[in-house]
Structure formats: C-alpha cells, structure tokens
Structure 1
C-alpha cells in the first residue's frame, strides 16, 4: 500500500506529549503495516482480525499512532477526499467505538503542536484547553481531565 503524503508527514513529526491519553508511539513510515498488529492483525497468528460488524476494527482503518496504553489514533483510507479525519478508540474494551477527534490529519497535528507548546510553557494547561478544544467531545474532555491530575501533582 502506498502511504499518502499527509500521513507520512504526520508520522514523521512524532509529536509526543505527557498526557496519558495523547500519542506516545508512532510507526516508522515504512513499517505502518507492522504497526497494525493488535488492531488489524492478530499478534500471534498473523491472521486478519478486521470485520464489518459493529465494534469490529475495519479493514480500511490504519493506526497512525497510539497512546501510552496503546489506545489507537487512526484514519480511514476511504476518507482521503476528506483529508483523513482522525479517530480514537479505547483499547481493550472488547469492541471498538471510534470517537472522531479531528476533522483532518493536519488539524490533528496542529492540535498536538498546540498542546505540546502549552505543556512546555503554561501552568494553566486546562484553561488553555478550554479555549482551544471542544470539551463536548468525550476524547478532548478526557484529555482535559487527565491534565487536571498533572496539575494536582
């Protein structure tokens, strides 16, 4: 599979953050298929574990990075015309329930860069998140709440 340039560019930046919910692990662009183990491919048998039923990981989804607990951030290759919206799902729940976290992969990269700057320079991380992120989105609310734990320490 040829990896689209916007995905290669996102992966190459490898923006990691302190927040438990946010990306910590990235594939190398030439190992994107190997990075799908545990999501699309069974780790021991090598069998495909995708499906079309509710809660299944779809064949067209590709994990582009993952959080500290290997919770995946992924795109749907069928959404190239929409510039690859980014989704998140909690790992280990027995089924996958995607949450759309960004309208495009470039927007997601920008959001991570904003958070990186906030983490490095601002003591009031939560106030800045309230200003810049939609806390009606359950993922961004979880990110917000996770930063509260950091501020309490």
Structure 2
C-alpha cells in the first residue's frame, strides 16, 4: 500500500492509501486504483473502500493547487463516492479540518480538526507523485468507450 493522502497532527489522522490496480490487464479498468480512506481519532475510527480513476488523481492535484493558494478544496464530490473537503480554517475548531461525507453508502458525515504543519501541501504533492510513478496511466481513451494501451 502507498499513501496518496496522509495528514496527522499526532492525535487525529486522515489518510487515503492506494492498494494497487483495480483490474490489472483489463483494458478499460486497468488504470483504476483500489484505495482505502481511513479516519482515526480518540473518538472515531472509520474506513471506506474507494476506487480511484486517473481523473480523480488529476482532481486531487487541482485541489492541492487550491490549498497552496490558501483556498478550501473539495475532492470527489459526487453521489457515488465519499466527498472529502479540506477546510484550511474551520471556524468551529479554529484550525484546519477534514470533512468526509459519504452520501452514497453510509450517509455518515465526519469533521475532524487537524493541526497541520507548514509545508504540508508540498508533502501531499510528493505522495501524489509517488502514486503516479508507481501506477502510471497505461490506457488511453481514443473515443467514447474505446480504449487502447499506451505504447
């Protein structure tokens, strides 16, 4: 497993770990990655399985760009997957916070404050780069529903 997101302040921990290719060798599904979201605090512990597409990884990169500019970011906000929001300054906690909402399966909402150190965005960018190096995109879509291997 390789972390894509790993945020902790010592007490609270949020991570998304990539486990590997979802369906290696199956042309349209080869670039999808199996992953697991995990939240841990003294009060709550939760896990959710996820499948990530290349578009999800590009969207996480765009979220990191927003966060680097001092803006909050929402990743994977659709009805089929958990929505992950990074709030740089949550008013209730007077600190950064992670908000995870799972409308598609469990209907659970968790908000967890995290005291993040300077440079954390760059650290997350490094994790994304490691995931992309280990599992590069090897499939391209040449038309709607038509795929081929990158050579």
Report which of the two has the higher share of helix: 1
TM over 0.5: no
Report which of the two has the higher share of strand: 2
Structure 1 length-normalised TM? 0.36
